[in-house]
Structure 1
Amino acid sequence: MPMFPLGAVLLPGEPLSLQIFEPRYVALIEDCLDGRREPEFGVVLIARGHEVGGGDVRTDVGVLAQITDVVQLPGSRFRLRCQGADRIRVTDWLTDAPYPRAEVERWPDGAVTDDADLLAGVRERADRLHELTARLARKSGIRRPPPSASLDGLSADPSARSFELAARLPIGQTDRQAALAAPDPRARLDTLITAMDDAIAVMEFRLL
């Protein structure tokens, strides 16, 4: 599988826009679009290092990015629109020749159980975090606080819903990766609750 390490986490169902200019990733996209394979590649988070130039340390859990639209630009460049699809797990990193490649396997969520209790906990903490963010904004002289994360219109499927929540909540890349790597929807919601509890504690401290 062609692989595209990024400095941000892509979640299943999320859109992804990319400007491709580095030669090795130009080669990757050209191979993805040659008609011999599905127009998709794996996306994983760079744990340490940089997107350009290689030498990075990569996570082993990521997402397939399906190419939905491509524009070829002058100077061997591409503009892509992609959609996060199945979650994947890297079983073996191969040589980066001519671009990052890995052996991967699809990693579906584990057994789904009722998550109503955790879902209520997520919503409660999201409301609390928005309240604290608005208070801190006013304290800092910001007249128009940032809007709250919309948690309406979520999927009825527990797996898809847990990824939608991870995408919409104001959490950092490390927490997004932890949510992506959670084995099932309940564990994912538990991870999101922990992330928001940490954020709430930080906001309360800043408001002292």
Structure 2
Amino acid sequence: MHYLGDHAELLVSWVSQVKCQRTIKESTRCCCEKSWRPLVSTLLPIFPLDVVLLPGVPLPLHIFEPRYKEMVTECLDQKKPFGVVRSKEEGIAEIGCTAEIMAVTKKHSDGRMDIVTEGRERFEVMQLNHERSFLRAEVLYLQDELGSAAAEKISQALKLHGEILSLAGAEPVALSEIEGSKISFHLAGSLPLDPDFKQTLLGMKSETERVEAIISYFETILPNLRRTVSVRRKSGGNGHV
């Protein structure tokens, strides 16, 4: 769910031009060091999608393929999550996030379903399993290193996030009740940012790394946003992107 509403498309159009190559290059090295602390390995239903699901971020889905109707029905019956993994030309990403089904908003007569899910736990795909109609995988659940981001860094990230919302003409979002470890995921999940950056963020091993990467990313895209708003104001528009 994007807080930018109708303004999201324009933000996407030039955010997609800003890949933040330095940030991604550096952070990719970090997430490949395999310094995770494993929780448990399990066989998880997998839903490959062209999105990056982040912990704590909602994801509405329309389920229409027979194999995924079967998968979602099983998850509902057994009250278990499924894994959302970004699909790629050569397969799927290495790191994904479990999706908990929060609600079934509509059931169609032909078995299709509209559901609302929310990201929960990150995992690493260890081995794929093709025995069922839908993909499954042996996954290793992951957790962060101990420690949290410095308060001043969180404050800086929140300030930049607020400026982006303001420039886009969107209402500010109250973040005071969000768990500290989820601040970075919420900030990234609430804006239509570059999927490559989101995937990199998903693989980072600490909240400090993620918050610093988000600050760098926001500082990269904001100059273009400010210029766009300035030009529109001068041309007689309302200034919102």
TM-score (norm 2): 0.67
Give the match for residue 14 of structure 1.
57
- The residue that corresponds to 1:140 in the other structure is none
Instruction: Name segments (4+ residues, structure 1) moved above 6 Å.
Output: none
Point out which structure has higher relative CO (alpha carbons under 8 A, 6+ apart). 2
2:141 paired with 1:103? no
Structure 1 residues 57 and 204: CA distance shift in structure 2, 3 A: farther
The aligned length equals: 186
Gaps in structure 2 of 5+ consecutive residues: 1-43, 232-241
Change in Cα spacing, 1:165 to 1:154, as seen in structure 2 (3 Å) is farther
Change (3 A) 1:149 1:89: farther
Q: State how far apart, in whole Å, the 1-side matches of 2:73 and 2:161 are.
A: 42
Q: Closer, same or farther in 2 for the Cα pair 1:21/1:170, shift >3 Å?
A: closer
Q: Residue 108 of structure 2 is aligned with which of 73, 79, 84?
A: 73
* Partner in structure 2 of residue 187 of structure 1: 209
* C-alpha contact (below 8 Å) 2:149/2:211 kept by paired residues: no
Tell me the C-alpha RMSD between the 2 structures.
2.5
Identity of aligned residues (%): 27
Are 1:152 and 2:175 matched, yes or no? yes
Q: CA deviation at 1:182?
A: 1.3
In the TM superposition, residue 95 of structure 1 has moved relative to its aligned partner by 2.4
Aligned pair partner of 2:153 in 118, 132, 154? 118
- TM-score when scaled to structure 1? 0.76
Q: Between Structure 1 and Structure 2, which shows a larger proportion of helix residues? A: 2
**Equivalent residue for 2:126?**
91
Task: Please tell me whether the aligned partners of residues 96 and 123 of structure 2 are also in contact (alpha carbons under 8 angstroms).
Answer: yes
- Per the TM alignment, residue 159 of structure 1 is displaced from its structure 2 partner at its CA by 1.0
Supply the AA of the counterpart residue of 1:20: I
